[in-house]
Amino acid sequence: METVHFGIKTAVYPGSFDPVTNGHLDIIHRASKVFDKLIVAVLNNTSKNPLFTVDERTALLRQVTRDLPNVEIDSFRDLLINYMKQKNAHLIVRGLRAVSDFEYELQMASTNRTLDGNIETFFMASTPKYSFLSSSIVKEIARFHGPVGDLVPAEVEQAIRAKFRG
């Protein structure tokens, strides 16, 4: 089997980030220390009914990652594999919160590898204090005007509050 050398290690961290949570931000910070360049790619999933538009999500991500010079924020609406080819990237970063995440993520990693044999997926375990956290939980708490300040960055909390006021 031929060995592929990737040169500059660009990784893509794909997700909906609706909204970005402290758990996502923890993975972004940690992955930015491992890879030369990290592209946080917001998925424009037309089958979901998001709280924030893709533009709003990318803007929030830019705000909360402004201190990370090797992190780029982008969006895509195609297959992840096609996006990876556009970006000349071969590494996917995925966060794992619990064992229940692993089965789905392993299936996706295997599928991506089948579609493109040069794609590798790196799993990062969530920091224990964020192992329960999901965007869905944040939205549910916020919908009923519960406190989300410990779950999301301050800029995101303000944006969520504005959404549920309006």
User: Phi and psi dihedrals of 22, rounded to 5?
Assistant: -65, -30
Catalytic residue among 32, 57, 126, 135: 135
Active site residue 97: yes
Residue 149 among known ligand-binding residues: no
Q: For residue 135, say whether it is annotated as part of any ligand binding site.
A: yes
Residue 33's SS3 state is helix
HEC readout, 128-166 = HHHCCCCHHHHHHHHHCCCCCCCCCCHHHHHHHHHHHHC
30 is catalytic: no
Q: Is 135 a catalytic residue?
A: yes
| 30 is annotated as contributing to ligand binding | no
Gap between the Cα atoms of 138 and 122, Å rounded: 25
Q: Out of 24, 57, 90, 139, which one is annotated catalytic?
A: 24
Report, as residue numbers or ranges, the catalytic residues.
Answer: 24, 48, 97, 135
Positions at the binding site for substrate: 16, 48, 80, 94
Positions at the binding site: 16-17, 24, 48, 80, 94-97, 105, 130-136
